[in-house]
């Protein structure tokens, strides 16, 4: 297959590109390289992978990338509420306008399958267990952009197209373009660097998924496109509280100890347990990695110096975005296309979603 990965040089995309190339697919990565890094993007990607530097809000670049493709996968954007809150108009352009413009380009090019990477963050805070049929409850900019993109893409998709939406659990593990700001990776890196694992309360629930398993799921759905489908991506056994995650890190990292504090009013109020039964029914045994596996590989990377200084902004989406914005690498585009879609976002009544 000829597969285009939009945002394919990032934390998820660089792992997905390697896996898809190993399976023999023709992979093209289109990425604006938002974050400040010294890496040559070709060092993050497998041999034979085509890299096309481009802004994922550029309709012409998206049109060129879509020509002749069997599938277009949108992985790009700002991940997490702290990064999105830095600049809401920018987050809307990258997380909402970009995937809509990419779908429009893919449709014009006759691409049969479009895959959109969303997030289990759309569920917000829920009692019980959420499924793909649970009503969204977006609590911040990040989740709102994902929810609105999902709804708009579904409405745009015609009967002769395939649309797959992948709502990811919180991702952890090793990647060529490493992140250390998600909860598992952050706790692990901090435990290695300081011997301490800060934990205030920790009762909030988080489903987890290893970055390599996300690549496995993507590869499988690309070869089984059927109409419009939405999957929570993770495993039922990988539902944890944040305190559970801290305990696992403490058990894996020698000498590390949890610093327990009182429950506090966190800016991130997400709290949900997620069912992954639909994914397990469609693709049995496709998500094998455990929390402990991810902790061990990140701990090894930090302990052996593979990542250099783990506190660098390049490993943190929030700080990396601020650095990129302040140096002019990324800014609000304000194009007519982006303004049109930003106006849609701004006039949405969230209580009706």
CB 249 within 8 A of CB 194: no
CATH code, domain carrying 343: 3.40.50.720
Cα torsion through 142, 146, 152, 158, rounded to 10: 160
- Checking if the pLDDT of 89 tops 90, the result is yes
Higher pLDDT, 137 or 63: 63
pLDDT > 70? residue 63: yes
**Mean of pLDDT values over 261-286:** 81
- The verdict on pTM exceeding 0.85 is yes
Range of the domain at 292: 2-352
DSSP for 199-240, please give it. EE----EEEEEEHHHHHHHHHHHHTS--SEEEEEES-GGGEE
Number of domains in the chain: 1
Q: Residue 217 pLDDT more than 90?
A: yes
Q: By CB neighbour count within 10 A (0-12 exposed, 13-18 middle, 19+ buried), where does 24 fall?
A: exposed
Mean pLDDT to the nearest integer, 87-115: 97
- Quote the CA–CA distance of 187 and 9 in Å, as a whole number: 24
Distance CA 270, CA 249 (A): 21
Report the distance separating Cα 241 and Cα 251, nearest Å: 16
Sheet of 228-233: strands edge to edge?
50-53, 26-31, 2-6, 71-74, 113-119, 162-168, 228-233
Q: Name which of 26-40, 79-93, 234-248 the model is least confident about.
A: 26-40
Q: Is the dihedral of CA 339, 341, 343, 346 positive or negative?
A: negative
Average pLDDT on 44-65 reads 94
Task: Give residue for tokens 């997620």.
Answer: 274
Rounded to an integer, the average pLDDT of 162-185 is 96
In tens, the pLDDT along 296-349 reads 999 999 999 999 889 888 899 999 999 999 988 899 999 999 999 999 999 987
Q: What is the pLDDT of residue 233?
A: 98
3-state secondary structure of 5: strand
For the ranges 30-44, 66-80, 312-326, 338-352, the lowest mean pLDDT is seen at 30-44
> Does residue 189 carry a pLDDT above 60?
yes
Q: Residue 205 has what pLDDT?
A: 87
pLDDT surpasses 60 at 352 = no
Cβ–Cβ < 8 Å for 272, 128:
no
Please say whether the beta carbons of 99 and 153 come within 8 A: yes
Q: Which residues pair with 4 in a beta bridge?
A: 28, 72
pLDDT of 14 over the 80 cut: yes
Query: What's the average model confidence in pLDDT over 80-104?
Result: 95
Confidence label for 286 from pLDDT (cuts 50, 70 and 90): very high
Q: What is the pLDDT of residues 117-126, one digit of tens each?
A: 999 999 988 8
Going by pLDDT thresholds of 50, 70 and 90, the confidence category of residue 42 is: confident
**Cα–Cα distance measured from residue 85 to residue 88, given in angstroms and rounded to the nearest whole number:** 6
Q: State how far Cα 8 lies from the chain centre.
A: 11
> For residue 275, is pLDDT > 90?
yes
Q: Which residues contact 23 (CB under 8 A, 6 or more apart)?
A: 219
More confident residue, 37 or 55: 55
pLDDT at residue 183, rounded to an integer = 94
Question: What is the 3 state secondary structure string of 263-307?
Answer: CCCCCCCCEEEECCHHHHHHCCCCCCCCHHHHHHHHHHHHHCCCC
The residue among 350 and 171 whose pLDDT is bigger is 171
pLDDT, residue 264, reads: 56
Q: What is the mean pLDDT of residues 224-247?
A: 94
268 band by pLDDT with thresholds 50, 70 and 90? low
Helices (H), 110-233: 141-156, 183-194, 211-222
How far is it, in rounded angstroms, from Cα 81 to Cα 121? 10
pLDDT at residue number 137: 87
């Amino acid at each position: 297959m000829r597969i285009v990965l939009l945002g394919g040089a990032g934390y998820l995309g660089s792992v997905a590109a390697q896996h898809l190339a190993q399976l023999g697919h023709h992979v093209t990565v289109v990425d604006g390289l938002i974050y400040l890094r010294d890496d040559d993007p070709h060092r993050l990607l497998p041999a034979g992978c085509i890299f096309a530097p481009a802004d994922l809000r550029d309709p012409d670049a998206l049109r060129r990338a879509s020509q002749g493709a069997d599938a277009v996968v949108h992985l790009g954007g700002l991940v997490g509420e702290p990064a999105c809150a830095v600049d809401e108009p920018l987050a809307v352009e990258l997380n909402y306008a970009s995937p809509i413009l990419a779908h429009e380009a893919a449709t014009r090019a006759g691409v049969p399958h479009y895959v959109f990477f969303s997030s289990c963050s759309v569920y917000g805070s829920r009692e019980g267990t959420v499924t793909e049929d649970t009503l969204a409850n977006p609590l911040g900019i990040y989740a709102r952009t994902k929810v609105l993109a999902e709804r708009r893409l579904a409405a745009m998709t015609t009967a002769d197209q395939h649309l797959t939406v992948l709502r990811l659990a919180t991702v952890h593990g090793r990647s060529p373009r490493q992140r250390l700001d998600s909860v598992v990776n952050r706790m692990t890196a901090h435990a290695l660097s300081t011997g301490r694992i800060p934990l205030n309360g920790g009762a909030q629930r988080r489903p987890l998924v290893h970055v390599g398993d996300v690549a496995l799921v993507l590869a499988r759905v690309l070869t089984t496109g059927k109409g419009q489908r939405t999957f929570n991506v993770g495993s039922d056994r990988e539902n944890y509280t944040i305190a559970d995650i801290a305990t696992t890190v403490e058990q894996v990292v020698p000498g590390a100890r949890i610093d327990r504090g009182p429950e506090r009013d966190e800016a991130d109020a997400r709290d949900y347990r997620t069912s992954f039964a639909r994914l397990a029914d469609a693709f049995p045994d496709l998500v094998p990695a455990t929390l402990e596996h991810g902790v061990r590989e990140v701990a090894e990377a930090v302990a052996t110096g593979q990542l250099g200084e783990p506190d660098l902004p390049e490993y943190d989406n929030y700080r990396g975005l601020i650095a990129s914005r302040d140096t002019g690498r990324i800014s609000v585009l304000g194009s007519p296309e982006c303004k049109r879609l930003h106006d849609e976002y701004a006039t949405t009544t969230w209580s009706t979603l």
